[in-house]
Amino acid sequence: MLTSYLPVVLGLLILYSFVMGRRRIRVAADAQAVRPHSQFGYYGLYVALWCGLPALIVVLAWLMFGPVIVDAVVMSSLPDQVTAGLDSAKLGLLEAEIKAIAGGVVFGEPSAAVVAAAERLNSLRGISSTAMFVVVVCVALGAIAYSRRRVAPDFRARNKVERTTFWLMVLCSVIAIVTTVGIVLSLLFESFRFFQLVPFWEFLFGTTWDPQMPIRADQVAAEGAFGALPVLAGTVLISVIAMLVAIPVGLLTAIYLAEYAPGRVRASVKPVVEILAGIPTIVYGFFAVLTVAPWLRQMGAAIGLDVAPNSAMAAGAVMGIMIIPFISSLSDDALHAVPQSLRDGAAALGATRRETIIQVIFPAALPGIVGGILLAVSRAIGETMIVVMAAGLIANATANPFEAVTTVTVQIVTLLIGDTEFDSPKTLAAFALGLMLFVITLGLNLVALTVTKKYRERYE
Amino acid sequence: MNEATSHAGSVSVQHAHDVTGMPTKVHAREVTVHYGEKQALFGVSMDIPANSVTAFIGPSGCGKSTFLRCINRMNDTIDICSVGGRITIDEQDIYDPSLDVVQLRARVGMVFQKPNPFPKSIYDNIAYGPRIHGLVRSKSDLDGIVESSLKRAGLWKEVSDRLSEPATGMSGGQQQRLCIARAIAVSPEIILMDEPCSALDPISTAHIEELIDELRENFTIIIVTHNLQQAARVSQMTGFFHLGKLIEYADTGDVFQNPQHSMTEDYITGRFG
């Protein structure tokens, strides 16, 4: 198809326009025997930017709105008797069927009108992509022609290029922000729909979580209960266990690496510890389910303790191991950033290494360490795969680490797995849980920022 | 060259007793320092008199700071550094394996080139040393040490009403005087100063120089400086180092007005360095 050549054609055009712009200013400068305002390359860049940017914008716009328009045209061209009496959901199904047929997937025996619509869709798509190619190339050529005429020795190409780069960078940073806002908004809207079905306070402070919705009205356990407290309690319990494992181990690792280890040891140990962070979480999940949980159960049995097969302890401990590198690496960086002069100062007063570390180095590095820990907490709360594999499914508000608990992330996964309808409270509850997670981690990040800022003011 | 150095050393011993009339506090013989393969100090021998100010001068990289850091064994903190020869303080060998380096550093305080207050309050900075050495039994004892140390460092009037504020909020000159007060608080016998004024403005420098002169009464002070006028102003004894060797060591007046060695003369008249 023509469109697949578009990137190549556009790339060549941009390259050509750069070379052309540079040559043109060189010729013009020689002819008038003057020094141009900017270096030659800037004129090339100027023309190249003019060639590339508008074309890129047209491509993006076309990709975004083209299919929508094509679909709308196809749907509106359907005969009235086909669409008569269909609500928006049925229309959506019809549209999906047409698209499937256009893609070559035929279910059953579609009506002639639908087949015709599918053919029309295919031909319109072809026209659209050809048109896009033509329009984009025209835009690029037109922009080259326009910008080419402005290339002259007294034209301030450098300033234009700098200005454009500035706005490009602003645009890129806006993309991240807009995406975040988009995600938050979609969470908010779906959660809002959920809270129309289930009262907000019941969700927040309800103590029963049992999201099975009845299929028949007279079914046993006919009511879904959406009290998030026990789920949240599970997340908190597992995160606390994880942090109890990760904070001491991670911090002591960091202190050893930063203060005691010879440079050679540090250079080899630090990357090895960081490998822990690179192990896929599903592997940790195996480890928790197949190694740690049975081991805990045996140990428990040996001392007469009843340990659930999918205990909070197993999931939390393994999660803690996964998080060690976050804490050790960030704390090590923070400790390392404390100036050597403070160590010398303490040593010159006759402080031992341990006294120096506890009383001088550690407080000075505290903001960085707290930041690392809070980041690790956010990570623990949001961690999914280990708990899906190793923690339980039944919501259980308990503080006993040897019982099975479930977590927010596990519940989101189970709510959204399988055939789901997007208007039942069961499915929408996933968004409410997601929103809750988001609010918690956001809160933690804010706390981390404030703590860091406050201590920085005090310590620098 | 070794011969010349030891010669200079023996000359200095006589001068030391002649000029200050004080007994020898620090006694160094044939001190050598290696950083890995590189030798930084070649057989330095000198006797440093008690209750006086001894200045080390010389161009950058001449070994004067290296020698200074041998006296409280700060070089121990550098892995590749090895020290040879013999240094005694009050006739006790400080490189004796049975000696506790922590106790040595309580006796030999140090002030660094850049002020390095701890990121704590002014009070806690001074109280740090007495606390770790268990010098005090009660809070009021500690208050007393903090106050007297700050007074001796000439800082009390400026900070008495803000002892709980962070030390890092003070000016550079105040920070350096705080570091001196911090060193004094442990009641050392010797205070080493490694270019204590090089990061300070002229007014703060004048403050510190006055302070050094006052402190001489109670402490033995050894100061490394790049500033020749400063050495001439504050010290009684001056040692000139060059390329890791002690070229000349005599009383300050002699070194500046009647140098025995042509290299010393070249340096103090500004012909090199």
For A315-376, the DSSP string reads: HHHHHHHHHHHHHHHHHHHHHHHS-HHHHHHHHHTT--HHHHIIIIIHHHHHHHHHHHHHHH
* Distance (Å, whole) CA A375 – CA A446: 11
Lowest mean pLDDT among A77-91, A338-352, B189-203: A77-91
pLDDT at B270: 83
Is A1 or A238 the better-scoring residue by pLDDT?
Answer: A238
Across residues B170-187, what is the average pLDDT? 91
B192 — pLDDT class (breaks 50, 70, 90): very high
Q: Dump pLDDT digits (tens) for B212-225.
A: 998 999 999 999 99
Contact A387, A317 (CB under 8 A): no
Evaluate if residue B43 carries a pLDDT over 80: yes
3-state helix, strand, coil in chain A (%, to 5): 80, 0, 20
Among A290-294, B21-25, B87-91, whose mean pLDDT is lowest? B21-25
- What is the tens place of the pLDDT at every residue in A60-118? 999 999 888 988 888 888 877 777 777 777 788 888 888 888 888 777 777 788 888 88
Q: Which of the four CATH numbers 1.10.3720.10, 2.40.50.140, 1.10.1060.10, 3.30.365.10 does domain A225-459 have?
A: 1.10.3720.10
- What is the spatial distance between Cα B37 and Cα B51, in angstroms, rounded to a whole number? 37
Q: How far apart are CA B175 and CA B158, in angstroms?
A: 12
Q: Which residue has the higher pLDDT, B27 or B272?
A: B27
Beta bridge partners of B92: B89
Quote the pLDDT of residue B273: 58
SS3 state at B55: strand
Say if the Cβ atoms of B104 and A363 lie within 8 Å: no
- CB crowding A148-162: b at 16 or more within 10 Å, else e: beebbbebebbebbe
Q: What does the mean pLDDT of chain B come to?
A: 87
List all residues of chain A from 225 to 284 with a beta carbon under 8 Å from chain B: 262
pLDDT band at A141 (very low <50, low <70, confident <90, very high): very high
Tell me which chain A residues have a C-beta less than 8 angstroms from the C-beta of B77.
343-344, 347
Q: What percent of chain B has pLDDT over 90?
A: 58
Give the position of tokens 């394996």. Answer: B97
B240 is a domain residue: yes
Mean pLDDT of chain A: 87
* Residue B26: its H or E element: strand B24-35
Domain ranges of chain A: 2-155, 225-459
Q: Which domain holds residue B101?
A: 2-268
Percent of chain A with pLDDT over 70: 96
In the prediction, which pLDDT does A456 show?
A: 62
**B43/chain A closest Cα distance in angstroms:** 25
Task: Report which of B73, B118, B77 is spatially closest to residue B94, judged by C-alpha positions.
Answer: B73
In the A/B pair of chains, how many CB contacts fall below 8 A?
76
Q: Residue A119, exposed/middle/buried by CB under 10 A (0-12, 13-18, 19+)? A: middle
Chain A residues with CB under 8 Å of B117 CB are 345
Give B206-263 pLDDT, tens digit per residue: 988 998 998 999 999 999 998 899 999 999 999 999 999 999 999 999 999 989 989 9
Q: Which of A311-320, A386-395, B105-114 has the lowest mean pLDDT?
A: A386-395
Q: A345 — contact with chain B (CB < 8 Å)? A: yes
| Cα B25 to Cα B88: distance, rounded to the nearest angstrom | 8
- Tell me: pLDDT of B13 over 70: no
- Helices B122-132/B139-152 angle, 10° precision: 110
A225 has a pLDDT exceeding 90: no
Distance CA B165, CA B145 (A): 18
Side-chain-facing half-sphere of A12: CA atoms under 13 Å: 5
The residue ranking higher by pLDDT, A457 or A192, is A192
According to the model, what pLDDT value does residue B163 have?
Answer: 92
pLDDT at A26 over 60: yes
> What is the arithmetic mean of pLDDT over A313-331?
92
- Number of structural domains in chain B: 1
Distance CA B255, CA B238 (A): 7
Strands (DSSP E) contained in A219-299 are: 225-226
The pLDDT value recorded for residue B56 is 95
> Least CB-CB distance to A460: which of B114, B168, B179?
B168
Tell whether B273 is covered by a domain: no
Asked whether the predicted pLDDT for residue B14 surpasses 80, the reply is: no
Q: What does the block give as tokens for A183?
A: 């995600």
Distance of alpha carbon A133 from alpha carbon A16, whole angstroms: 18
| A180-213 burial: b if 16+ Cβ within 10 Å, else e | eeeeeeebeebbebbbebbeeeebeebeebebee
**CA A30 – CA A32 distance, rounded (Å):** 6
CATH number, domain containing residue B94: 3.40.50.300
Which residues, including other chains, have CB under 8 Å from residue A28's CB and lie 6 or more apart? Answer: A36, A151, A152, A153
pLDDT category, A175, cuts 50, 70, 90?
very high
Nearest CA-CA partner of A10 in A42, A43, A46, A57: A57
CA–CA–CA angle A448, A452, A455 (5° rounding): 140
Chain B residue with the nearest C-alpha to that of A366 = B119
> What pLDDT, on the 0 to 100 scale, is given for residue A459?
52
Q: What value does the mean pLDDT take over residues B185-207?
A: 90
Cβ–Cβ below 8 Å for A350 and B166: no
Specify the pLDDT at position B11. 43
Rg (CA), chain B: 18
Q: Tell me if B39 is assigned to some domain.
A: yes
Partner A contacted by B133 (CB < 8 A): yes
The pLDDT assigned to A1 comes to 65
Helix (H, G, I), strand (E, B) or coil at B9: helix
**Closest to A343 measured CA to CA, from A437, A227, A259, A431:** A259
The whole-number pLDDT of residue A322 equals 92
Are B246 and B44 spatial neighbours (Cβ–Cβ below 8 Å)? yes
Per-residue DSSP letters for A127-141? HHHHHHHHHHHHHHH
Residue B33: partners with Cβ closer than 8 Å, 6 or more residues away: B39, B40, B41, B63, B66, B67, B70, B75, B81, B82, B83, B84, B244
Cβ separation of A262 and B79 shorter than 8 Å?
Answer: yes
Q: Has residue B193 got a pLDDT over 70?
A: yes
Mean pLDDT across A282-311: 89
A215 pLDDT exceeds 60?
Answer: no
Q: What is the share, in percent, of chain A residues with pLDDT greater than 90?
A: 35
Closest-CA distance of chain B to residue A345, Å: 7
